[in-house]
Amino acid sequence: MAKIGDGGAPLGEIFVERPAKGKPHSGKVLAAVQAHADDIPFFCAGTIAKLIDEGYTAYLIQTTNDEKCGPTRSIGETILSNEKDIEELAKVLGFKGIFNLGYRNHLMDGESPLEIRCRLIFLFRLLKVDTVFTFNPWGHFEENPDHWVTGAAVEAAAWMAGMDKDYPEHLAAGLKPHSVRERYYWVAREGQPYNRVVDIAPWIEKKVEAICVNKTQGPGGYAGRRLKARLAAKGLRLPALDGSDEDADRAYVRLFLLEPFEKLGRLYGLDYAEAFYYIGPKDWSSEVEDYIAKNALPLK
Ligand SMILES: [Zn+2]
């Protein structure tokens, strides 16, 4: 059975993004736009930790209220419990701020696409977002409407935020048009494409921690301590889960949830990796300028 993060499909030439020296992304801003509390931990936590270390300022945008996911007794408690997990996730990875858009979980395909897009355009302009992480809006085999609706809204908002006639009231309020130049679409389902692999080995413990703070939805969260208790009731113990409850939770993640990222890494000579379909800056002006430099002649 495929695990979360398994089975991306390589497409075209694969670029391996390696750890950079210093702070090459200093001054740049990224936004990771997830639908649910467990998306960022599984799909991009290592890469986000890497890019923050390398200078990015990062914001977390969550589109749903996560009201359906978790063992908590009521819908209200489930929302609150997931919200607390997201606050912890932001602390662990180093996000500067969180925006909860609050759309109802599992129902995003019934929401206004225009409203979601407009809210994202506002945020991309306000935060001056250069780079986004989200779902592939065209991702095959996606069964969760919250995922593709989120991806599609981000994709459209990313370029529209740079236009000067979309939502002129934003400009009257002091915002400026601001295009998102780089997009990383993570691999959420088996068979979704990737053209970039990021070496996350130096940040693997951050990824473990990010999966562990996702207590409400799991998998991860309390899984280690629960397994330990289940075995103890039968008079058994797994030495790998020895230590505190937190140690057991982390050990569980390392033992059972990192394999897809290890397997992907091995294909590219890395210890651990995350995969993305990456779309870089579009810049046609330099091509024109190069042509002018080579071919322009004086009028006389
Ligand atoms: Zn999700």
Q: Is the pLDDT of residue 140 over 90?
A: no
Q: What is the pLDDT of residue 139?
A: 80
Please give the distance, rounded to the nearest whole angstrom, from the Cα atom of residue 44 to the centre of ligand 1.
Answer: 12
DSSP conformational letter for 55? T
Please give the distance, rounded to the nearest whole angstrom, from the Cα atom of residue 287 to the centre of ligand 1.
Answer: 40
Please give the distance, rounded to the nearest whole angstrom, from the Cα atom of residue 142 to the centre of ligand 1.
Answer: 10
pLDDT level of residue 264 (50, 70, 90 thresholds): very high
Q: Is the pLDDT of residue 49 over 60?
A: yes
Residue with tokens 């409407």: 145
Q: How far apart are CA 264 and CA 260, in angstroms?
A: 6
Between helix 145-160 and helix 113-127 the angle, nearest 10°, is 50
Please give the distance, rounded to the nearest whole angstrom, from the Cα atom of residue 157 to the centre of ligand 1.
Answer: 20
Residue with tokens 């467990």: 38
Please give the distance, rounded to the nearest whole angstrom, from the Cα atom of residue 70 to the centre of ligand 1.
Answer: 13
Give the end-to-end CA distance of the chain in Å, rounded to a whole number: 72
Q: DSSP readout, 12-35?
A: EEEEEEPPPSS-TTTT-EEEEEES
Q: How confident is the model over 277-297, as a mean pLDDT? A: 89
Closest CA to 183 of 145, 144, 134, 149: 134
Please give the distance, rounded to the nearest whole angstrom, from the Cα atom of residue 117 to the centre of ligand 1.
Answer: 19
More confident residue, 227 or 2: 227
Per-residue model confidence as pLDDT tens digits over 177-227 = 999 999 999 999 999 999 999 999 999 999 999 999 999 987 778 899 999
Q: What is the pLDDT of residue 282?
A: 78
Q: How far is CA 24 from the centre of its chain?
A: 20
Please give the distance, rounded to the nearest whole angstrom, from the Cα atom of residue 241 to the centre of ligand 1.
Answer: 28
pLDDT level of residue 72 (50, 70, 90 thresholds): confident
Question: Domain 9-201+270-281 classified CATH 3.40.50.2300?
Answer: no
Q: Is the pLDDT of residue 1 over 90?
A: no
Q: What is the pLDDT of residue 2?
A: 64
Per-residue model confidence as pLDDT tens digits over 237-246 = 999 999 999 9
Please give the distance, rounded to the nearest whole angstrom, from the Cα atom of residue 83 to the centre of ligand 1.
Answer: 14
Q: How many residues does the chain have?
A: 300
Q: What is the pLDDT of residue 231?
A: 94
Please give the distance, rounded to the nearest whole angstrom, from the Cα atom of residue 168 to the centre of ligand 1.
Answer: 33
Domain-by-domain residue ranges, the chain? 9-201+270-281
Q: What is the pLDDT of residue 207?
A: 97
Q: How confident is the model over 141-162, as a mean pLDDT? A: 96
Please give the distance, rounded to the nearest whole angstrom, from the Cα atom of residue 35 to the centre of ligand 1.
Answer: 5
More confident residue, 32 or 289: 32
Q: How far apart are CA 237 and CA 204, in angstroms?
A: 26
Give residues whose Cβ lies within 5 Å of ion ligand 1.
Answer: 35-36, 39
DSSP conformational letter for 194? E
Q: What is the pLDDT of residue 4?
A: 74
Per-residue model confidence as pLDDT tens digits over 92-136 = 999 999 999 999 999 999 999 999 999 999 999 999 999 999 999
Order of strands across the sheet with 97-103?
9-17, 193-199, 273-279, 182-186, 131-135, 29-34, 57-64, 97-103
Q: What is the pLDDT of residue 219?
A: 79
Q: How confident is the model over 129-155, as a mean pLDDT? A: 95
Please give the distance, rounded to the nearest whole angstrom, from the Cα atom of residue 39 to the centre of ligand 1.
Answer: 5
